[in-house]
């Protein structure tokens, strides 16, 4: 398949940008979209964990960690610019939280003020479009509100850029090309290659965000812009309530179709885990019991 | 000949001394302004020296007498020398007095000399090894030089070779005593120390008072000032002065639990590094014990360089448990903990570099009002079956029970329940805040985050304002200290009691009766730093134990010399590695008494000591012990049913 | 311990007994998972020499059903079980499409739950509605052209199957997969698109499709009831319920596991549908393959299987060897770290890492609160300790009381044996009755 011949306008734009980012040493522009999170226990507004990790990735990318394009000697040449953008109601309480991102070492944040219940995607897309970004980083899932995880996809879709989910590490390898390490379950990783511009969402497994310095956050600037809001009609129609406890699945007794089934149902262990204690068995038997549990949990990788 | 040279020498040395002093003063004045009462301070200085400082020095009787002889001898000699040799006052009696003072000084100096023959490791060497010889030289020389004036020897006695020897002695003696005083020799301590006593940042400490609460940080970020201390000049000027008063006696070092555990902290070295910072230079001349695991000679700094970038490593600052053992022991009344927390404030608030679990803990405190990120609505779960009246319902009670974050911890809950049992048995009119309570801010503050401390404290104060109560009682010495000593700066003034004090009152007032505890074996008591050194509460816990018929097997380090359990100052959160665990060393102290049980009065100490690998003595809070010995008052003790 | 029998007879017994919970695993072992490997391109490569095992009479046997056995209407099964009815949807008028994960070519439990939900949605409609299972990548058990009611897909409730097993869909190929979904959307105009809400597969596909189509999906949905779909909001703190009959009703749904019960009362046709023509996507995200991660390099917080050492370990070489034999990530108590036997970053607990392993084995760890705090969210805890009264035993789901050295030795031997059993062909020697394995 020769896909190279097909070039969308976005791709052309991409290659233009690429030639200007990597080789000529034009500094990168990295935009991080951040939201106001929510503490899972108290429900109180906080710096969103994944968004902070996204900003952390942006900061380390801008510091040129492993950037081949930026020679070590060219001081400052590779210093990328970080755009921090938030769209939302930005109440006083939320602004305190937003300053938490500034406290990670970014001088200012663009705050796109929206009315309550607005769909923030259009203003975000507009802001990113105007920012001349090469890389847009977001969290994977918002902590507050619907938390559908759509934001990065919609931004990427509107811009016509590729969208890379679950990034844990991003390295610029030069010529506008980036290597992205993607988190797979159980600590496994996959390597992806993508050219700027692109959008990436950051996985919870990414490096912990640096601590926010309170004073730096206070001194940083929140540049407010009040923009007209588009109401989020869909969410307005939906019923939003505190989460209910999910009912435990009751193992519906399979209709006993055979004698064997009936026997199985009769002898099935109850779900309660007793916490078996083996004392008198031989070491081999004890090991066997452990081994069986490992097998049943599926943690033993067959070789 | 000598007679004619001495006045000029004196004048010259005094001029150099004054120049040195002025330069030193200008170094201090580079610090931040701080209001002090100059006149009153200077007036109070002699008394502070003679009484308060002496009180500390007096813990080592020989050294104390040595110092009185040497210092008193020197000050008196110097005055008389100026009169006799400087102004040439021709008075035999003055000269004889001078002979006497030099003899006293000489004797003192001999003791100094003796101590320096085989100095303990805590003492700094280097120039300090020279000092006794200089003192002897000074005293001996001026004794001889003054003999003619006293009429003991004929005038013109000092001539020829002897004159040269005496002259050399005078130069050497004056050089050490005067030049050295102004220009950072060991004698600097006398000059800086005197002024430090006069302009101490915590004058309340003199006259038997106590001042242990940290100072409030101005959180205004709009004036371009850094929060906390980044560079030496960010300290208050009188803090800089205080550092200069250090005599490198190393008493702080000998007491410091972090130093003993091999963590990279030595309070003496820290103070000396502050001196290096305020004057500029390197620590190459430092001749004492290093920070464990770090070589001397690599630190350098200046008044306007960031301290943690080359002078002191961050781990050093985070190793401190804020136990105040160093402060308690320092004969110069230097405030190590203030300095350490000031620098931590910079690291946390300006740099965001709190180590270990610090950042996480602070985020939790901000988002949930407790350090472990528990649901704030579950704070009162421990009391679900306790039937404790809520302040929000009762509005008024004699005693407000401050529960603290032990509410979330299963082990601490045993202490809380025990204490509730006691309160109920004594029919105390009490209530608690339930979910309305928040962390006191202790941990945030020791982590350097005064913003979070102030936010928590202000909200707690606002909550407390809604209710009427006479006293607050708490089982947590850290909360106790915060509420009692640190909330007043934010407008919260309360009478706060530690639970052992209230229990003691109840016992004394006959409100509860305790059975003798005979089955515990040997019992010792561990003084929590925040109860003892911070608040002087040494007696109440001991009295309660005595009321249970317990004869304490005291540890060598108990009372004001108690060794920290390692749990203070957020040290378990930052968890700077050392060679040993502080708690293990404390447990060894406990084992030395042969104790089967160690009584404590703090949930944090309980956690730290129980974190020591078994087998080890049992650890129990006094509340737990008391609750188990409660006897119904109406019935005679013998009728108590034992199930 | 009656269920601990010497390994050979036990294995054979499990092989014979298809109802045994370990049956599938043992069969897989027998066939040798090493037989199927993914090449660097993500392409499946079969090693013909590793496939199969030697049967009782010395003849090599190959299980072409991938050991799942579920597709085979074996004689034995027919004897034992009544046949489930086959339900066929002829000429469907509308479709519910389920994009299953089918990682490694097999339906997961989560896939089956979503198919179960799809069934409910399809069967609840007035018109003839078919459930279409859409699969990217090859299947382990092949589907013929005809109806396949006994194939795993048929048993799970799929009327039709669309199999995109071209090489360009393999690995992480979200762009090409999206083109395929768009083509299916054009062809079938499904009434609903269902996805298992899984990291990087179902979740990513649902979001991509929704973003491209400009639709609002219902993500993290955990319940569909009375014509309404309920999704979990951010931080799992809210439930957002939307009416499936409303004009703004979500068509694209990403469903949590256990959203519905899997199908178990009927069989469906699982008939392959011809594929629409799919345009080539412009591939801008290039998959450079999995990065090998040594279990000991996995961040503690992410590791799913941890063997953790405490003060009760006396032979450290043995401990490391056991961890290696089990393929476990190593952990430690603070005492083991303090004593210098383990590096600091391995410490589990209040001042170390809070781990989330599925299985945590605590060897010689007493279970101090500070340690237990760190394993609060581990699913299964196994304690190996000499002291039956210690707190770790109270916390553990399985405890073996005894000397760590002895038990680790046995466990290591057992683990190595497990590996041996896979590669040693004579394991199947006494396997006279495992007729379902006949090719
Ligand atoms: C503030 C604070 C923070 C702490 N943070 C942590 C932390 O993050 N993580 C942590 O782990 N600890 C932490 N601790 C320490 C904790 O309290 C315990 O001291 C520690 O967890 C005990 O480690 P252990 O179980 O390995 O050792 P031990 O308590 O000595 O337990 C050893 C166990 O091994 C068993 N055993 C002995 N010999 C054998 C043998 N031959 N075979 C099998 N079993 C044997 C014993 O029965 C015992 O149960 C903390 C403590 C404090 C105070
Ligand atoms: S407060 Fe305690 S730990 Fe800190 S320096 Fe002083 S003695 Fe050491
Ligand atoms: S700080 Fe105080 S106790 Fe420590 S060496 Fe200096 S004078 Fe002595």
Give yes or no for residue C432 having a pLDDT over 90. no
Measured by CA distance, the residue closest to atom 6 of ligand 2 is B326
Handedness of CA C209, C211, C212, C213 (dihedral sign): positive
C302 and C204 within one domain: no
Q: Which domain holds residue C410?
A: 295-416
Coil, helix or strand at residue B597: strand
Mean pLDDT value of segment C406-423:
79
ipTM: 0.88
Q: Looking at the 3D structure of chain A, how many domains does it have?
A: 2
Highest mean pLDDT among A39-43, A244-248, B451-455: B451-455
Q: Assign B88 a pLDDT band (cuts: 50, 70, 90).
A: confident
Q: Looking at the 3D structure of chain C, how many domains does it have?
A: 3
C306, C314, C351: which to mutate for ligand 1, most atoms within 8 A of CB?
A: C351
C172 and C101 within one domain: yes
Distance (Å) from the C-alpha of residue A118 to the closest C-alpha of chain B? Answer: 25
Residue C397 within a domain = yes
State which residue of chain A sits closest to C217, comparing Cα positions.
A148
Look up the CATH number of the domain holding residue C90: 3.40.50.620
| B102/B109 Cα distance (integer angstroms) | 10
A218 and A183 within one domain: yes
C235 and C192 within one domain: yes
Predicted confidence (pLDDT) per residue in B233-268, tens digit: 999 999 999 999 999 999 999 999 999 999 999 999
Residue A246 within a domain = no
Give yes or no for residue C33 having a pLDDT over 50. no
- Quickly count: other Cβ atoms within 10 Å of residue A269's Cβ: 7
Using CB atoms within 10 A of its CB, is residue B463 exposed (0-12), middle (13-18) or buried (19+)? middle
Residue A247 within a domain = no
Nearest to C2 by CA among B157, C13, C175, B268: C13
Give yes or no for residue A249 having a pLDDT over 90. no
Q: What is the DSSP string of C110-147?
A: HHHHHHHHHHHHHHTSSS-EEEEEEEES--SS---SS-
Residue A2 within a domain = no
Residue A132 within a domain = yes
Give yes or no for residue C6 having a pLDDT over 70. no
Q: Assign B158 a pLDDT band (cuts: 50, 70, 90).
A: low
Residue C277 within a domain = no
Predicted confidence (pLDDT) per residue in A100-125, tens digit: 999 999 999 999 999 888 888 899 99
Mean pLDDT value of segment C316-326:
95
Q: Round the average pLDDT of chain A to a whole number and report it.
A: 80
B324 CB under 6 A from ligand 2? yes
Q: What confidence score (pLDDT) does residue B266 get?
A: 97
Q: What confidence score (pLDDT) does residue C58 get?
A: 44
Look up the CATH number of the domain holding residue A194: 3.40.50.620
Give yes or no for residue B93 having a pLDDT over 80. yes
Residue A4 within a domain = no
Give yes or no for residue A18 having a pLDDT over 70. no
Q: What confidence score (pLDDT) does residue C17 get?
A: 60
Q: Which domain holds residue A266?
A: 259-297
Q: What confidence score (pLDDT) does residue B621 get?
A: 97
Predicted confidence (pLDDT) per residue in B407-432, tens digit: 999 999 999 999 999 999 999 999 99
Answer yes or no: do A302 and C33 touch at CB < 8 A: yes
Give yes or no for residue C218 having a pLDDT over 50. yes
| Nearest ligand for residue B251 CA | 3
Chains in contact with A via at least 3 Cβ–Cβ pairs below 8 Å: B, C
Q: Assign C27 a pLDDT band (cuts: 50, 70, 90).
A: low
C38 and C171 within one domain: no
C229 and C159 within one domain: yes
Nearest to B559 by CA among B540, B576, B575, B579: B540
Q: How remote is the C-alpha of B209 from its chain's centroid? A: 14
Q: Assign C24 a pLDDT band (cuts: 50, 70, 90).
A: low
A166 and A279 within one domain: no
Q: Round the average pLDDT of chain B to a whole number and report it.
A: 93
Helix and strand numbers (H, E) in chain B are 28, 11
Predicted confidence (pLDDT) per residue in C45-78, tens digit: 334 444 444 444 444 444 444 434 444 444 444 4
Coil, helix or strand at residue B180: helix
Predicted confidence (pLDDT) per residue in A171-196, tens digit: 888 888 999 999 988 788 999 999 98
A197 and A284 within one domain: no
Predicted confidence (pLDDT) per residue in B182-215, tens digit: 998 999 999 999 999 999 999 999 988 899 999 9
Domain boundary among C237, C257, C272: C272
Q: What confidence score (pLDDT) does residue C302 get?
A: 86
Mean pLDDT value of segment B64-76:
92
Q: What confidence score (pLDDT) does residue B333 get?
A: 94
Q: What confidence score (pLDDT) does residue A301 get?
A: 64
Which member of C311, C350, C369 has the closest CB to residue B411? Answer: C369
C112 and C211 within one domain: yes
Predicted confidence (pLDDT) per residue in B528-555, tens digit: 999 999 999 999 999 999 999 999 999 9
Q: What confidence score (pLDDT) does residue C16 get?
A: 58
C38 and C156 within one domain: no
Give yes or no for residue C2 having a pLDDT over 80. no
A279 and A221 within one domain: no
Residue C286 within a domain = no
A183 and A263 within one domain: no
Give yes or no for residue A271 having a pLDDT over 80. no
Q: Assign C26 a pLDDT band (cuts: 50, 70, 90).
A: low
A275 and A208 within one domain: no
Higher local confidence (pLDDT), C210 or A260: C210
Which residue out of C228, C281, C400 would a mutagenesis test of the A interface target, given it has the greatest number of A Cβ atoms within 10 Å? Answer: C400
B263 CB under 6 A from ligand 2? no
Mean pLDDT value of segment B304-333:
96
Nearest to B261 by CA among B574, B580, B588: B580
Which of residues 356 through 375 in chain C touch B, CB cutoff 8 A? 366, 368-370
For residues C263 and C131, the answer to whether their CB atoms sit within 8 Å is: no
Residue A245 within a domain = no
Predicted confidence (pLDDT) per residue in C224-261, tens digit: 998 999 999 888 888 999 998 888 889 999 999 899 99
Q: What confidence score (pLDDT) does residue C199 get?
A: 87
Nearest to B432 by CA among B394, B465, B459, B482: B394
Q: What confidence score (pLDDT) does residue A226 get?
A: 83
pLDDT above 70 covers a percentage of chain B that reads 98
| A44/A50 Cα distance (integer angstroms) | 16
Whole-number Å distance, alpha carbon B574 to ligand 3 midpoint, is 25
Residue A173 within a domain = yes
pLDDT above 90 covers a percentage of chain B that reads 85
C179 and C131 within one domain: yes
* Partner residues linked to B6 by β-bridges: none
Q: What confidence score (pLDDT) does residue C275 get?
A: 94
B341 CB under 6 A from ligand 2? no
C352 CB under 6 A from ligand 1? yes
Q: Assign C439 a pLDDT band (cuts: 50, 70, 90).
A: very low
| B333/A159 Cα distance (integer angstroms) | 66
C251 and C127 within one domain: yes
Pure H helices in A138-213: 151-159
| DSSP H or E segment with residue C335 | helix C334-338
A132 and A98 within one domain: yes
A211 and A62 within one domain: yes
Which member of A44, A47, A213 has the closest CB to residue B351? Answer: A213
The residues, ordered by sequence, that sit 6+ positions from C350 with a Cβ below 8 Å of its Cβ are B357, C369, C370, C371, C373, C374
DSSP B486: I
A179 and A37 within one domain: yes
A289 and A150 within one domain: no
For residues B600 and B526, the answer to whether their CB atoms sit within 8 Å is: yes
State which residue of chain A sits closest to B347, comparing Cα positions.
A213
| C180/B109 Cα distance (integer angstroms) | 96
Q: What confidence score (pLDDT) does residue C207 get?
A: 97
C234 and C97 within one domain: yes
Measured by CA distance, the residue closest to atom 11 of ligand 1 is C333
A214 and A145 within one domain: yes
A21 and A102 within one domain: yes
For residues B96 and B150, the answer to whether their CB atoms sit within 8 Å is: yes
* B371 part of contact set with chain C, CB < 8 Å: no
C365 CB under 6 A from ligand 1? yes
Q: What confidence score (pLDDT) does residue C245 get?
A: 87
Q: What confidence score (pLDDT) does residue C29 get?
A: 57
Q: What confidence score (pLDDT) does residue A260 get?
A: 53
State which residue of chain B sits closest to A96, comparing Cα positions.
B366
The residues, ordered by sequence, that sit 6+ positions from B454 with a Cβ below 8 Å of its Cβ are B216, B217, B219, B441, B490
Residue A168 within a domain = yes
Strand B396-402 with B430-432, pairing: parallel
* C327 part of contact set with chain A, CB < 8 Å: yes
Q: What confidence score (pLDDT) does residue B455 get?
A: 97
Q: What confidence score (pLDDT) does residue B208 get?
A: 85
Which member of B357, B581, B610 has the closest CB to residue C338? Answer: B581
DSSP B633: S
Whole-number Å distance, alpha carbon B346 to ligand 3 midpoint, is 24
pTM listed for this prediction: 0.87
C251 and C124 within one domain: yes
Residue C435 within a domain = no
Predicted confidence (pLDDT) per residue in C362-394, tens digit: 999 999 999 999 998 898 999 999 999 999 999
| B528/C386 Cα distance (integer angstroms) | 35
Measured by CA distance, the residue closest to atom 7 of ligand 2 is B256
C239 and C178 within one domain: yes
């Amino acid at each position: 398949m020769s896909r190279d011949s097909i070039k969308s306008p976005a791709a052309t734009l991409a290659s233009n940008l690429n030639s200007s980012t990597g080789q000529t040493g034009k500094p990168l522009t990295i935009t991080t979209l951040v939201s106001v999170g929510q503490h899972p226990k108290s429900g109180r507004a906080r710096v969103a964990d994944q968004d902070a990790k996204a900003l952390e990735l942006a900061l380390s990318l801008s510091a040129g960690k492993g950037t081949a394009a930026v020679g070590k000697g060219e001081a400052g040449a590779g210093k990328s610019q970080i755009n921090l953008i938030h769209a939302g109601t930005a109440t006083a309480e939320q602004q305190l939280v937003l300053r938490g991102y500034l406290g990670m070492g970014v001088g200012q944040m663009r705050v796109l003020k929206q009315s309550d219940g607005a769909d923030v995607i259009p203003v975000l897309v507009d802001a990113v479009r105007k920012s001349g970004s090469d890389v847009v980083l977001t969290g994977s899932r918002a902590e507050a509100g619907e938390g559908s995880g759509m934001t990065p996809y919609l931004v990427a879709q509107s811009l016509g850029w590729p969208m890379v989910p679950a990034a844990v590490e991003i390295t610029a390898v030069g010529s506008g090309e980036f290597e992205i390490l993607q988190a797979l379950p159980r600590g496994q990783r996959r390597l992806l290659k993508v050219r700027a511009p692109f959008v990436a969402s950051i996985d919870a497994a990414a490096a912990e965000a640096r601590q926010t310095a309170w004073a730096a956050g206070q001194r940083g600037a929140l540049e407010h812009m009040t923009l007209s809001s588009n109401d989020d009609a869909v969410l307005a129609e939906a019923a939003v309530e505190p989460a209910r406890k999910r009912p435990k699945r009751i193992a519906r007794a399979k209709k006993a179709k055979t004698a064997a089934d009936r026997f199985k149902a009769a002898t099935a262990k109850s779900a309660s885990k007793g916490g078996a204690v083996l004392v008198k068995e031989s070491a081999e038997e004890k090991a066997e019991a452990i081994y069986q549990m490992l097998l049943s949990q599926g943690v033993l990788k067959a070789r | 000949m000598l007679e004619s040279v001495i006045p000029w020498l004196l004048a010259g040395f005094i001029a150099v001394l004054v120049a040195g002093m002025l330069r030193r003063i200008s170094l201090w004045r580079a610090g931040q302004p701080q209001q002090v009462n100059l006149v009153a301070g200077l007036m109070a200085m002699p008394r502070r020296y003679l009484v308060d400082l002496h009180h500390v020095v007096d813990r080592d009787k020989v050294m104390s007498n040595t110092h009185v002889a040497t210092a008193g001898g020197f000050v008196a000699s110097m005055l008389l020398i100026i009169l006799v040799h400087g102004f040439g006052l021709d008075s035999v009696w003055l000269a004889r007095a001078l002979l006497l003072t030099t003899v006293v000084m000489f004797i003192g100096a001999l003791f100094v000399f003796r101590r320096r023959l085989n100095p303990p490791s805590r003492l700094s060497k280097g120039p300090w090894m020279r000092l006794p010889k200089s003192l002897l030289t000074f005293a001996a020389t001026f004794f001889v030089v003054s003999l003619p004036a006293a009429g003991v020897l004929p005038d013109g006695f000092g001539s020829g070779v002897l004159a040269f020897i005496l002259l050399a002695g005078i130069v050497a003696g004056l050089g050490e005593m005067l030049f050295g005083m102004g220009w950072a020799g060991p004698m600097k301590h006398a000059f800086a120390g005197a002024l430090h006593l006069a302009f101490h940042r915590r004058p309340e400490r003199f006259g038997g008072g106590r001042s242990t609460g940290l100072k409030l940080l101005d959180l205004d970020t709009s004036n371009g000032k850094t929060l906390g201390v980044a560079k030496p000049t960010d300290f208050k000027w009188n803090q800089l002065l205080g550092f200069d008063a250090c005599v490198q006696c190393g008493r702080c070092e000998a007491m410091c639990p972090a130093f003993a555990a091999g963590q990279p902290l030595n309070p003496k070295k820290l103070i000396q590094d502050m001196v290096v910072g305020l004057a500029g230079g390197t620590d190459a001349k430092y001749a004492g014990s290093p920070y464990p695991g770090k070589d001397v000679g690599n630190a350098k700094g200046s008044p306007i360089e960031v301290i943690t970038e080359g002078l002191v490593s961050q781990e050093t600052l985070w190793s401190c448990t804020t136990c105040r053992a160093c402060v308690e022991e320092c004969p110069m009344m230097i405030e190590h903990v203030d300095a350490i927390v000031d620098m931590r404030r910079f690291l946390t608030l300006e740099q965001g570099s709190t180590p270990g679990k610090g950042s996480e803990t602070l985020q939790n405190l901000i988002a949930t009002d407790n350090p472990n990120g528990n649901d704030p609505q579950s704070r009162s779960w421990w009391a679900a079956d306790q039937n404790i009246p809520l302040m929000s319902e009762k509005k008024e009670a004699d005693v407000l029970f401050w529960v603290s974050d032990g509410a979330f911890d299963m082990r601490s809950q045993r202490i809380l329940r025990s204490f509730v049992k006691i309160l109920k048995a004594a029919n105390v009119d009490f209530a608690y805040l339930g979910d309305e309570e928040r962390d006191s801010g202790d941990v945030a503050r020791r982590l350097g985050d005064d913003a979070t401390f102030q936010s928590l404290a202000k909200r707690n104060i606002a909550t407390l304002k809604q209710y009427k109560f006479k006293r607050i009682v708490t089982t947590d010495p850290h909360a106790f200290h915060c509420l009692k000593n640190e909330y007043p700066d934010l407008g919260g003034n309360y009478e706060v009691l530690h639970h052992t004090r209230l229990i003691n009152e109840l016992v004394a007032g006959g409100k509860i009766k305790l059975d003798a505890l005979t089955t515990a074996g040997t019992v010792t008591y561990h003084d929590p730093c925040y109860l003892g050194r911070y608040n002087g509460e040494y007696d109440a816990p001991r009295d309660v134990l005595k009321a249970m018929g317990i004869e304490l097997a005291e540890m060598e380090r108990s009372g004001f010399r108690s060794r920290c359990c390692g749990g203070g100052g957020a040290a378990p959160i930052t968890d700077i590695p050392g060679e040993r665990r502080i708690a293990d060393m404390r447990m060894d102290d406990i084992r030395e008494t042969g104790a089967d049980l160690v009584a404590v009065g703090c949930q944090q100490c309980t956690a730290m000591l129980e974190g020591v690998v078994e087998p080890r003595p049992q650890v129990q809070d006094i509340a737990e012990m008391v609750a188990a010995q409660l006897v119904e008052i109406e019935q005679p003790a013998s009728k108590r049913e034992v199930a | 311990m009656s269920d601990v029998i010497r390994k050979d007879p036990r294995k054979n017994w499990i092989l014979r007994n298809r109802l045994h919970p370990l049956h599938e695993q043992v069969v897989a072992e027998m066939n040798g998972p090493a037989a199927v490997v993914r090449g660097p391109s993500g392409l499946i490569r079969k090693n013909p020499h590793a496939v199969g095992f030697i049967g009782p009479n010395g003849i090599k046997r190959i299980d072409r059903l991938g050991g799942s056995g579920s597709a085979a209407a074996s004689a034995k099964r027919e004897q034992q079980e009544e046949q489930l009815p086959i339900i066929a949807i002829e000429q469907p008028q509308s479709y519910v499409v389920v994009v299953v994960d089918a990682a490694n070519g097999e339906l997961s439990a989560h896939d089956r739950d979503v198919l179960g939900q799809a069934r409910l949605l399809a069967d609840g409609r007035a018109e003839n509605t078919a459930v279409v299972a859409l699969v990217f990548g090859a299947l382990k058990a092949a589907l013929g052209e005809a109806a396949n009611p006994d194939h795993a897909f048929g048993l799970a409730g799929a009327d039709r199957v669309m199999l995109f097993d071209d090489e360009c869909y393999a690995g992480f190929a979200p762009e090409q997969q999206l083109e395929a979904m768009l083509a299916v959307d054009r062809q079938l105009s499904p009434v609903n698109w269902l996805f298992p809400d899984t990291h990087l597969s179902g979740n990513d596909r649902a979001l991509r499709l929704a973003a491209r189509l400009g639709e609002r999906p219902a993500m993290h949905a955990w319940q569909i009831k009375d014509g309404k779909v309920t999704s979990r909001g951010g931080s799992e703190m809210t439930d957002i319920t939307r009416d499936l009959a409303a004009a703004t009703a979500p068509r694209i749904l990403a469903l949590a596991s256990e959203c519905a019960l899997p199908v178990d009362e009927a069989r469906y046709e699982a008939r392959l549908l011809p594929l629409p023509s799919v345009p080539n996507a412009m591939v801008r995200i290039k998959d450079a393959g999995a990065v090998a991660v040594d279990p000991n390099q996995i961040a503690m917080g992410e590791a799913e299987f941890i063997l953790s050492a405490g003060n009760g370990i006396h032979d450290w070489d043995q401990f490391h060897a056991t961890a290696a034999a089990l393929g476990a990530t190593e952990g430690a108590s603070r005492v083991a770290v303090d004593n210098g036997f383990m590096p600091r970053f391995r410490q589990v607990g209040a001042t170390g890492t809070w781990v989330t392993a599925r299985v945590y084995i605590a060897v010689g760890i007493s279970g101090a609160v500070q340690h237990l705090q760190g394993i609060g969210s581990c699913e299964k805890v196994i304690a190996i300790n000499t002291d039956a009264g210690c707190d770790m035993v109270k916390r553990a789901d399985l405890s073996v009381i005894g000397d760590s050295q002895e038990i680790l030795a046995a466990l290591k031997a057992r683990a190595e044996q497990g590996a041996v059993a896979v590669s040693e062909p004579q394991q199947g020697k006494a396997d006279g009755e495992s007729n379902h394995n006949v090719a």
